[in-house]
Structure 1
Amino acid sequence: MSAPHLVTLDVWTVAAHDVPRALWRMAADRPVLPRLPGARFAKLLGTGDGRTFTVRDADPLRWAALVAWDSPADAERFETSRPVRAWAGIARERVQFRLAPRGSRGRWSGREPFGPAAARSGPPEGGDGPVASITRARLRPGRAASFWRAVPPVAAELHAVPGLRCAFGIGEAPLGFQGTFSLWDSTRALREFAHRGAAHRDVMVRTPREGWYAEELFARFDVVGVRGTLGGRTP
């Protein structure tokens, strides 16, 4: 599959008293989202702070939708869709990250949703413009405890790296389906974390040896735009 023209990640923030309504939307929108015109891959996701990747990370006030689109026009039509209209009646805040796939490796639910590895060239290393990263993994149940022990040092390292604009956990379920979204000033900033942080390097080395994942994916994106706010600001 070729790379989609545009990927959107929407994050809606709700008030505590609207959590039941948000949970209902997650159930009601699940069959609708993949059937929207131009949606070639779609996932409804919970979010969390990504510090341990256990249930205690989960943030019941923030919910997300990730969609890979055939065209920017399809993404624009999403704005008048039933899911977006319904979330507008619930959410107190919304941010949408608009992303152009730059390269991807691995699979998500057996698919390559952002195209094959090195699907699209981007600006030179350290070039202008913010970039984003999405990681996702399905844990092997027998390896989960070992993985969870390795996460806190990496999370602490991540949030101390210069050039990070925002980062949070994403996943289809609170346990066993682990993912992250991060937004960076530049490719150089992302690479500084990925390859120079001691805790992250250790996890990279241990991953094939420990066999933590039954499935994994890493993707990079150029940031086309950011609409709305997260925590009261535009990242």
Structure 2
Amino acid sequence: MGTLPRQLAAVPGLRFAKLLGSGYDFGLKPNFARYGLMAVWDDDATARRFFERNPHWQAYQERSHELWTADLLPLQGHGLWDGSNPFDYAPRADAPAEAPVAVLTRASIRLLRSWKFWQAVPPVSRAVQQAPGLLAAIGLGELPIVRQATFSLWRSAAEMRQYAYGQQHEGRHKEIIKRTRQEGWYSEEMFARFRVLSTRGTWDGQNPLPLP
């Protein structure tokens, strides 16, 4: 966590990268055994060279007993991450309703609003983990308490939208969004949605979405 970000800055073709820690059940308790890397590349070939040959990444793999990777195509990205939108590509056709999608949310939480944020996390966390179509989800973070993110993997775009906007969760979802705006919880935030092109490796002993 301390050394890889500096090494990533020198990787050719890597536009944007974040090495992220994780927490248990989207909560404050850190999970020191699980980490995430979000990376944006110039092209597929550049990314594959990194994951196959980069010595720093190879060292990470040697220290790991499990690794899961997904190749993602940005479909939608709103907001900022460190002052820019790394997923701000030309508009693309949306994913078919039956196609699998991944969702990334992240926010820089104002320190004085962090307690209210964390109070709101448990009910939302329980709801998403019980949502039909959810294949995997994890709470991630750049810094404890104040720079947080979530990554979720869905069997289909339709089921993801049903969770986000359907009647069962609409009230809670809208209430939390309304509170973040009214009470100014975040100094910066982002929502991004991706089509899942391929996956490899395992997550908790299996590949939640086996794609070629």
User: Structure 1 length normalisation: TM-score?
Assistant: 0.83
Q: Where does structure 2 lack aligned partners over 5 or more consecutive residues? A: none
RMSD in angstroms over aligned alpha carbons? 1.4
Matched with 1:91 is 64
Q: How does 1:75-114 map to 2 (within 5 A)?
A: 75-79=47-51, 80-114=53-87
Q: For residues 83 and 224 of structure 1, what CA distance do their matches in structure 2 show?
A: 25
Quote the Cα distance in structure 2 between the aligned partners of 1:96 and 1:210: 36
Letter in 2 for 1:67: A
Partner in structure 2 of residue 158 of structure 1: 128
Say which is worse superposed, 143-152 or 199-208, in terms of deviation.
199-208
Residues 220 and 77 (structure 1 numbering): CA distance in 2 closer, same or farther, change over 3 Å? same
Task: Return the offset for 1:35.
Answer: 2.1
Give 1:59-70 correspondences, 5 Å limit. 59-70=31-42
Runs of 4+ in 1 over 4 A off after TM superposition: none
Show the 5 A alignment for 1:38-187.
Answer: 38-52=13-27, 54=28, 56=29, 58-79=30-51, 80-115=53-88, 119-124=91-96, 126=97, 128-187=98-157
Q: How far 1:122 moved relative to its partner?
A: 2.0
Aligned to 2:6: 31
State the distance in 2 between where 1:206 and 1:175 align: 18
Per-residue deviation, 1:90: 0.5
Q: What amino acid is aligned across from residue 28 of structure 1 in structure 2?
A: T
Deviation for aligned residue 1:190? 1.0
Cα distance in structure 2, aligned partners of 1:35 and 1:115: 22
- Contact 1:51–1:156 (CA<8 Å) still a contact in 2? no
Are residues 1:222 and 2:182 paired? Answer: no
Does structure 2 retain, via aligned residues, the 8 Å contact 1:39–1:67? yes
Q: Percent identity?
A: 40
Residue 49 to residue 194, structure 1, CA distance change in 2 (3 Å):
farther
Q: How many residues align?
A: 204
What residue ranges of structure 1 are gaps of 5+ in the alignment?
Answer: 1-25
- Which amino acid letter does the alignment assign opposite residue 117 of structure 2? F
User: Could you tell me whether the CA contact under 8 Å between 2:95 and 2:157 is conserved in 1?
Assistant: no
